[in-house]
Amino acid sequence: MRSKSTKKWIPLLCNLLGCLLLIGVILISLSLTLPRTLGYEMYHVISGSMEPTIPVGSLVYVEMLTPEEIQAEDIIAFRSNGTIITHRVLRNRLVEGEFVTKGDANAAADMNAIAYEELIGRVKYHIPVLGSLMALWTSTLGKLYALCVAACGVMLNMLAGRLRERAEEA
């Protein structure tokens, strides 16, 4: 037979764990949606061309700017052959309407200049590892995990309520 203190602690722990799981799902989801409402695009870094400044697996937040606002030494995101690349600007050629860029880990500047039309924006922030988590979270499997974690949080809270009811009946 359980003591009264045990009957009180188990529902409390179930509630606490359930709430933590739900809050975790909400916070992770917000970290992936809120920046878009603030005008940022987010991208997952999958190559080491910007290491050590931006490690592989980082999440980069890109702010939209006009090409004329970009300065030398800024890190920009741009489209190239269907992919998104982040490199540092060596020169902004205003007259030609293009950027000369280079990855920090690369020995030489990129072979081709980047036309203004390819610009997405300037990298404002980057957070290591979060890009890999974002890639998982936004995949079909990640969404399934999020749903399961949220369901576990709800069930733990329901279990806590049932345990309290039983404790009151006894």
The 3-state DSSP class for residue 79 equals strand
The 3-state DSSP class for residue 127 equals strand
What is the number of structural domains in the chain? Answer: 1
CATH code of the domain containing 117: 2.10.109.10
Question: pLDDT for 98-113, tens place per residue?
Answer: 999 999 999 999 999 9
Question: pLDDT for 46-63, tens place per residue?
Answer: 999 999 999 999 999 999
Question: What is the pTM assigned to this prediction?
Answer: 0.74
Cβ–Cβ under 8 Å, residues 131 and 57: yes
Q: How far is CA 60 from the centre of its chain?
A: 8
Owning domain of residue 31: 4-169
